[in-house]
Structure 1
């Protein structure tokens, strides 16, 4: 069976997971984190991709993006992956692959899931025990969204802007979202769709401009039901 293409729906955000091969560390020290951020900023700019949230963990990276066209996300990830691997291997006197095959991605319905995905990303260090609070972890977009430190990598999504009329209102509302935590069913849904490439949420009722490039969810298990005979 041929592999499905990556899901793409025009104008809709995507959650991306880039993991180290065999879950091995891809960031060994502060310099590695900083260099990946530099390559991420360059690759996103060159591909025209908007980055809304991110977290860099020792063995993987989560990105929340909106690509301008079907090939832009792959373009960005190819540039980012190759440049960072070359730099990492030279610096650490190693050779060979660094990443776990193809990156994983899923399309997100933004009205109900954009902020949930952003929260999921930025609470990752807290769930993994790498920080006492999300805002104290230096390698994510959390401090930007809380108004503690502007991040030049970030383009705020319209759903973030809708949290309030002023920066203070938006930051306070986002802090409340983080403090509420990610419900277990939400956590399971994000992980399931991100790992399998199915859409997170439902496709809005809109015109053909939102036409996906493939099916949004897995086919039902078992044989298809036979149609009744007519006549």
Structure 2
């Protein structure tokens, strides 16, 4: 995954996303999802970290690893079968690009070795959108966490929710996003997030769960945030 030449400003918020080359799946089993999730944590550091040398061979629990000097603050995230979305705050001008390079390179190396493949795993360079105002910030939070609904109701944004109860249950139980962490579940993956960064820019009445399911009922995240960001 190459470094995309975009202007990144310190202390600004961004939506980063990418998908598999030719829209191929990039997560084929639960271990693939788990590896990427762990990379979200350990790659968020200016330290050069080898998953095999620094984690596996030393017998260290990933979540106990002392990362030091993070590159970004991650506000929310979701992994889908062939793509991912990240909502981040830049802690320096070059932090996000370096983070994306590290995580993309590390995961592609893991994936290619596991499945005995060569070539690019991701479809070109990562894509990004600058979050320019509070309303967009709020939309993006829901947009990311509602992505999994497409797995069980692929056309919900165009045709509306056919089974709201099933959609809510699916989002609440989906392991591969930060929704559980925002909804109050106690799990190690919550260490990926810096929640305060999002509370700093959203209204005081912001309620994570209520906001997400409000937009589910409205069926309007795609209209509010823009279909161009669909992957």
Q: Please give the TM-score of this superposition, normalised by the length of structure 1.
A: 0.72
RMSD (Å) for aligned C-alpha atoms: 2.4
Q: Does 1:152 align with 2:191?
A: yes
* Matching residue within 61, 64, 75 for 2:87: 64
Which ranges in structure 2 are unaligned for 5 or more consecutive residues? 47-69, 154-166
In structure 2, do the counterparts of structure 1 residues 110 and 147 end up closer, same or farther at CA, with 3 Å as the change threshold?
Answer: farther
How far, CA to CA, are the matches of 1:75 and 1:81 in structure 2?
Answer: 10
2:179 alignment counterpart: 142
The match for 2:208 is 174
CA distance in 2, matches of 1:153, 1:80: 13
Unmatched tracts of structure 1, length 5 or more: 196-231
Contact 1:106 1:193 (C-alpha < 8 Å) held by counterparts: no
SS in 1 for 2:209: helix
Post-superposition Cα deviations, 1:9-36, rounded to whole Å, max 9, x if no partner, equal 3311100111100110000000000101
For 1:56 and 1:185, the matched residues in 2 are separated by 21
Q: 2:26 is matched with which residue? A: 26
Report the CA distance between 1:113 and its aligned residue: 1.9
1:127 partnered with 2:150 = yes
Contact 1:16 1:194 in 2 (8 A): no
Report the equivalent of 2:135. 112
Q: How many residues align?
A: 186
Q: Tell me by how many angstroms 1:93 deviates.
A: 1.5
Q: 1:110 to 1:155 in 2, by over 3 A?
A: farther
In terms of Rg, which structure is larger?
A: 1
